[in-house]
Amino acid sequence: MGPLPRTLELFYDVLSPYSWLAFEVLCRYKNIWNVSLQLRPTLIAGIMKDSGSLTAMRFLTIVKLEHPELLEKVSRELWMRVWSRDEDITEPQSILAAAEKAGMSTGRARELLERVSTPQVKNQLKETTDAACKYGAFGLPVTVAHLDDETYMLFGSDRMELLAHLLGKLQVHAELPLTPPLRAISCPEGWIQSTKKDVLGPSSNGASYTHRCA
């Protein structure tokens, strides 16, 4: 019997194309890396308040509550609409079309869509967003890795090699050498270092950020 899967949480919004990149990599590697991937539909207030994706994220929230087995497929279909086919994801018919293409019946999709403004769904999305913020999120995607007694927050879709290293796996690109140990990574000018929180990331644009949570 092999080791039990470690837990990864992916906080994401379907309006974020970089969330999509992280989503597809983690969905592809979850079995290879032997991890339990927890998908966390998230809306970060302030960043997404004018994006129009609120209904879509509430819909994903109720899908997670009622049909977690379809969450990966429905999320992917929403990303395909907005980022691959330049189609709408804000109108009810658009969300229904994505749900139906993901394999949900029209009747069930309509029923869930009618409940996206209920207190249960609103509170669940808020709780998920608050959880991301408590981990230190300042944008999306955010991946949280729970490894033994340590918790790591990784921001951005370009942290997969570092995540692979933390999991003790080969990098995503097999032709490349193993990622060096976390503490051995060089810290170019403009990057932040903190021995207290073990933070690595650029101080200006936030493109890459790794944080070992206290």
Reported confidence tier of residue 68, pLDDT bands at 50, 70, 90: very high
Question: Looking at per-residue confidence, does 52 or 56 come out higher?
Answer: 56
pLDDT, tens digit, 9 for 90 and up, residues 118-128: 999 999 999 99
User: Which residues, listed in sequence order, are joined to residue 37 by a DSSP beta bridge?
Assistant: 8
Query: What is the pTM (predicted TM-score) of this model?
Result: 0.73
Gap between the Cα atoms of 113 and 56, Å rounded: 9
What phi and psi, each to the nearest 5 degrees, are found at residue 110?
A: -65, -40
* Residue entry with tokens 């933390």: 166
Checking if the pLDDT of 200 tops 60, the result is no
Q: What is the pLDDT of residue 171?
A: 56
Q: Is 152 helix (H, G, I), strand (E, B) or coil?
A: strand
Is 50 exceeded by the pLDDT of residue 21?
A: yes
Report the C-alpha gap between 108 and 100 in whole angstroms.
9
Tell me what pLDDT residue 18 has: 92
pLDDT for residue 50: 57
**Region 8-32 average pLDDT:** 94
Q: How confident is residue 98, by pLDDT bands cut at 50, 70 and 90?
A: very high
8 Å CB contact between 152 and 9: no
- Label residue 22 by pLDDT band (50, 70, 90): very high
**Would you tell me the crossing angle of helices 71-79 and 92-101 to the nearest 10 degrees?**
120
Three-class SS state of 179 = coil
Least confident of 73-82, 121-130, 166-175, 187-196: 187-196
Q: What is the pLDDT of residue 185?
A: 33
Question: For 133-177, what is each residue's pLDDT tens digit?
Answer: 889 888 899 999 999 889 999 999 999 999 999 998 865 555 444
Q: Percent of the chain having pLDDT more than 70? A: 74
* pLDDT, position 125: 93
Q: Is the pLDDT of residue 102 over 90?
A: yes
Query: How far from 8 is each of 22, 35, 40, 146, CA to CA, in Å?
Result: 12, 7, 10, 6
Strand duo 35-41 + 6-12: pairing: parallel
